[in-house]
């Protein structure tokens, strides 16, 4: 469930953007910042999603607020989803899958270097990365092609996210049931 909390700024952004893109950006920034500080105080670890979300939403809120107020809804959505995709890819390239930080909070320290544990986190981060790639591609298509609505892009993205979330909740249980991970 901590992983879902890590996505809270992005979820709030998606929910609030229909009311006001600026408000959605600032609320998402404040939420990412608050979660990041709270988590850092508790664990002394600055999580990828917290740091990335704070930076991403802060920069976008300032940019849209002061430099390019006319930045379209679709462009902001593309920047948010593309930024999150970039964070996920970077976590894989740097061999520190972003799910690892959340998984370590739920698994005993002696398992942190186990092959099954690391493999599970690479798989889960890979699934989230694919979901974000689908979202970003849908946003790009809606931004470039007038025939594709932003609503259709958001719907495609939500389907991808539900798939990634469902996988994240079920995959660890599947591994335990089939003996690929300890209880």
Structural domain spans, the chain: 2-177
Instruction: Look up tokens 């959340």; give the residue.
Output: 102
Q: What mean pLDDT is predicted for residues 98-127? A: 92
Query: Do the beta carbons of residue 78 and residue 84 sit within 8 Å?
Result: no
Model-wide pTM > 0.95 = no
Q: Is the pLDDT of residue 57 over 90?
A: yes
pLDDT for position 22: 97
Going by C-alpha positions, the residue among 39, 25, 112 that lies closest to residue 73 is: 25
Tokens of 64: 């849209």
The better pLDDT of the pair 93, 14 is held by: 93
Q: What mean pLDDT is predicted for residues 87-93? A: 97
Tokens of 115: 């092959």
Q: Is the pLDDT of residue 1 over 70?
A: no
Q: Is the pLDDT of residue 63 over 90?
A: yes
Query: Do the beta carbons of residue 17 and residue 79 sit within 8 Å?
Result: no
Average pLDDT value over all residues in the chain = 91
Q: Is the pLDDT of residue 42 over 80?
A: yes
Instruction: Look up tokens 């404040």; give the residue.
Output: 30
pLDDT for position 12: 93
Q: Is the pLDDT of residue 183 over 70?
A: no
């Amino acid at each position: 469930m901590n992983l879902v909390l890590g996505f809270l700024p992005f979820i709030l952004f998606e929910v609030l953007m229909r009311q006001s893109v600026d408000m959605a950006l600032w609320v998402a920034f404040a939420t990412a910042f608050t979660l990041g500080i709270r988590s850092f105080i508790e664990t002394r670890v600055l999580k990828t999603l917290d740091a990335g979300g704070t930076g991403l939403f802060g920069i976008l809120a300032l940019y849209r607020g002061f430099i390019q107020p006319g930045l379209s809804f679709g462009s902001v959505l593309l920047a948010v989803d593309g930024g999150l995709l970039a964070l996920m890819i970077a976590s894989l390239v740097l061999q520190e899958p972003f799910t690892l930080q959340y998984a370590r909070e739920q698994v005993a320290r002696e398992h942190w270097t186990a092959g099954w544990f690391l493999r599970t986190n690479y798989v889960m981060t890979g699934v989230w990365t694919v979901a974000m790639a689908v979202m970003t591609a849908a946003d790009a298509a809606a931004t470039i092609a007038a025939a594709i609505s932003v609503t259709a892009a958001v719907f495609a993205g939500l389907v991808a996210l539900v798939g990634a979330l469902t996988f994240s909740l079920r995959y660890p249980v599947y591994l335990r049931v089939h003996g690929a991970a300890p209880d």
